[in-house]
């Protein structure tokens, strides 16, 4: 695979060059299981480094505040058209700088301070931007939190009961650590009954939805926000899709309501990513992400791990590691020592703390981009078990690290020689 040139950086700034080279080596030699990460194509890396980074283009295609917009208009219109086609959206805004700003801009588009929002509890899979008390957004709106059932599934009856009781202005679905399918039709029915708007945050699963591997909320919901850098495999960034009746409010909310100039180099990279998503290769990729997750589910269950939500329908698994004599923090550390990157994560109603929770979250998108398939997933599952059980044994962790490195050499990372 071609690598992206760093010759100018090397000649000009050795300190930064060394950091980039170090990161390339880390990405190449280690096994990336963080469910929200992925590897972009060399074309996307090039677009991010393009001269579009020089340009101010406040406003939208055809309606800008500065001159010289022929090509920024072209590239932004292209990104919008492609995204509309992929998801079947009435309207798309590709300017949000990332997932969190996309969510904030979406709230600003439809809510007044003090309005009530019904969203999922963070420990049950929700995101910080869905009203966690540590965020400023939680000071602005009245967030009410629903939870999953004891079996770990979304409790639609509870959502219905809470919606009737609290009469929210907005009902929010879409999660960071939830591994099951979502019934958008059912949520929409509840929302219609109480007169609430609907918003889905598909940051994690957008790529699976784009490829037809999971239910698509875009034709059903009022607002759909996403990142572009997780399963969608584009540059770091955000996007808002909405029904026609909210188009003006969303655009005004993103700019000038919340952000300044858009990052057109990122938007060019988003356009390229959407072009990739429309190919058959990407469809196969999305299918393989799910197959790989399913194999890890089976394998880890057979190894005695407790899987939250009873398993997975998407690209991720939330695993309670305490039955293996480790905390989430210890498991994350041991796996890091063994060359496997995961993140510690709260499990539903976790009795432990966020900095040392009971679980870890793993995902298959990055490994799948490298071309790893079912056989590798079985091997990785065994390593996870061995590393967690061997957390106090440096020899075991060192041995796994060498085996991981050996396997990774067979699966190149796009853009890294």
Can you tell me whether residue 251 is helix, strand or coil?
Answer: helix
DSSP 254: I
C-alpha atoms less than 13 angstroms from C-alpha of 293 in its C-beta half-sphere: 29
Tokens found for residue 232: 């969608």
Asked if 246 contacts 110 with a C-beta cutoff of 8 angstroms, the reply is: yes
- Residues within window 192-231 making contact with ligand PLP, judged by CB under 6 A: 201, 203-204, 227
Shortest distance in whole angstroms from residue 228 CB to ligand PLP: 9
Choose between 240 and 388: whose C-beta lies nearer to ligand PLP: 240
Site string for ligand PLP, 17-46 (x = CB under 6 A): -------------------x----------
Can you tell me whether residue 417 is helix, strand or coil?
Answer: coil
Indicate which single residue of 152, 174, 235, 415 sits in contact with ligand PLP (rule: CB under 6 A).
Answer: 174
Of 172-180, 188-196, 313-321, 336-344, the window that binds ligand PLP (rule: CB under 6 A) is 172-180
Strand 197-201 and strand 223-227: pairing? parallel
Shortest distance in whole angstroms from residue 408 CB to ligand PLP: 25
Can you tell me whether residue 93 is helix, strand or coil?
Answer: strand
In this structure, is the dihedral angle defined by the CA atoms of residues 218, 193, 247 and 269, taken in order, positive or negative? Answer: negative
Tokens found for residue 49: 């480094």
DSSP 214: S
Verify binding: residue 330, ligand PLP, rule CB under 6 A: no
Asked if 340 contacts 297 with a C-beta cutoff of 8 angstroms, the reply is: no
Has 282 been annotated as catalytic?
no
Active-site annotation holder among 6, 55, 84, 236: 236
Of 96-104, 181-189, 255-263, 409-417, the window that binds ligand PLP (rule: CB under 6 A) is 96-104
Indicate which single residue of 176, 314, 343, 369 sits in contact with ligand PLP (rule: CB under 6 A).
Answer: 176
DSSP letters of 101-166? Answer: HHHHHHHHHH--TT-EEEEE-GGGT--GGGT-TTSTHHHHSEEEEE-B-TTSSB-HHHHHHHHHHH
- Residues near ligand PLP (CB under 6 A), total: 14
Active-site annotation holder among 46, 58, 160, 374: 58
Rounded Cα distance between 388 and 409, Å, is 23
Has 230 been annotated as catalytic?
yes
Indicate which single residue of 44, 45, 86, 100 sits in contact with ligand PLP (rule: CB under 6 A).
Answer: 100
DSSP 228: S
Verify binding: residue 98, ligand PLP, rule CB under 6 A: yes
Asked if 169 contacts 111 with a C-beta cutoff of 8 angstroms, the reply is: yes
Q: Which residue is nearest to ligand PLP (CB)?
A: 99
Choose between 180 and 401: whose C-beta lies nearer to ligand PLP: 180
Query: What are the strands, taking DSSP E only, across 148-299?
Result: 170-173, 197-201, 223-227, 238-242
Verify binding: residue 99, ligand PLP, rule CB under 6 A: yes
Site string for ligand PLP, 289-308 (x = CB under 6 A): --------------------
Choose between 204 and 370: whose C-beta lies nearer to ligand PLP: 204
Active-site annotation holder among 227, 228, 231, 341: 227
Of 168-176, 190-198, 328-336, 359-367, the window that binds ligand PLP (rule: CB under 6 A) is 168-176
Rounded Cα distance between 291 and 261, Å, is 40
Choose between 204 and 263: whose C-beta lies nearer to ligand PLP: 204
Shortest distance in whole angstroms from residue 347 CB to ligand PLP: 17
Has 58 been annotated as catalytic?
yes
Q: How far apart are the first and last CA of the chain?
A: 7
- Residues within window 108-167 making contact with ligand PLP, judged by CB under 6 A: 127, 129
Contact residues toward ligand PLP (CB under 6 A) are: 36, 98-100, 103, 127, 129, 174-176, 201, 203-204, 227
Q: Catalytic residue positions? A: 56, 58, 201, 227, 230, 236
């Amino acid at each position: 695979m071609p690598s992206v040139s760093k010759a100018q950086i090397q000649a000009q700034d050795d300190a930064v060059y060394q950091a980039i080279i170090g990161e390339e080596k880390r990405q190449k030699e280690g096994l990336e299981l963080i469910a929200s990460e992925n590897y972009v194509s060399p074309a996307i890396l090039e677009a991010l480094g393009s001269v579009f980074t020089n340009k101010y283009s406040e406003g939208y295609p055809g309606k800008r505040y500065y001159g010289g917009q022929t090509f920024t208009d072209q590239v932004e219109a292209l990104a919008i058209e492609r995204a509309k086609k992929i998801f079947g959206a009435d309207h798309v805004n590709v300017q949000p700088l990332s997932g969190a700003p996309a969510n904030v801009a979406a709230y600003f588009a439809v809510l007044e301070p003090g309005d009530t929002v019904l969203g999922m509890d963070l420990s049950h899979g929700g995101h910080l931007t869905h009203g966690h008390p540590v965020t400023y957004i939680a000071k602005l709106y009245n967030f009410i939190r629903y939870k999953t059932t004891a079996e770990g599934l979304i409790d639609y009856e509870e959502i219905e009961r809470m919606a009737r009781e609290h009469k929210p202005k907005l009902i929010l679905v879409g999660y960071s650590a939830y591994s099951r399918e979502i019934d958008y039709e059912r949520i929409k029915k509840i929302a219609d009954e109480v007169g609430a708007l609907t918003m889905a945050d598909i940051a994690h699963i957008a790529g699976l939805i784009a490829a037809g591997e999971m239910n698509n909320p875009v034709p059903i919901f009022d607002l759909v926000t996403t990142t572009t850098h997780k399963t969608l495999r584009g540059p770091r960034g955000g996007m808002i899709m909405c029904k026609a009746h909210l188009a003006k409010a969303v655009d005004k909310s993103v700019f000038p309501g919340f952000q300044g100039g858009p990052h057109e180099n990122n938007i060019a990279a988003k356009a390229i990513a959407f072009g990739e998503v429309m190919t058959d290769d990407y469809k196969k990729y999305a299918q393989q992400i799910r197959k790989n997750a399913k194999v890890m589910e089976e394998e880890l269950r057979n190894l005695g791990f407790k899987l939250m939500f009873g398993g997975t329908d998407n690209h991720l698994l939330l695993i309670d590691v305490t039955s293996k004599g480790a905390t989430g923090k210890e498991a994350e550390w041991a796996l890091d020592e063994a060359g496997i990157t995961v993140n510690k994560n709260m499990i539903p109603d976790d009795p432990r703390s966020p900095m040392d929770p009971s679980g870890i979250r793993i995902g298959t998108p990055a490994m799948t981009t490298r071309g790893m398939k079912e056989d590798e997933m079985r091997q990785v599952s065994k390593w996870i078990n061995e590393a967690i059980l061997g957390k106090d044994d440096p020899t075991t962790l060192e041995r796994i690290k060498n085996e991981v490195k050996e396997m990774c050499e067979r699966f190149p990372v796009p853009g890294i020689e």
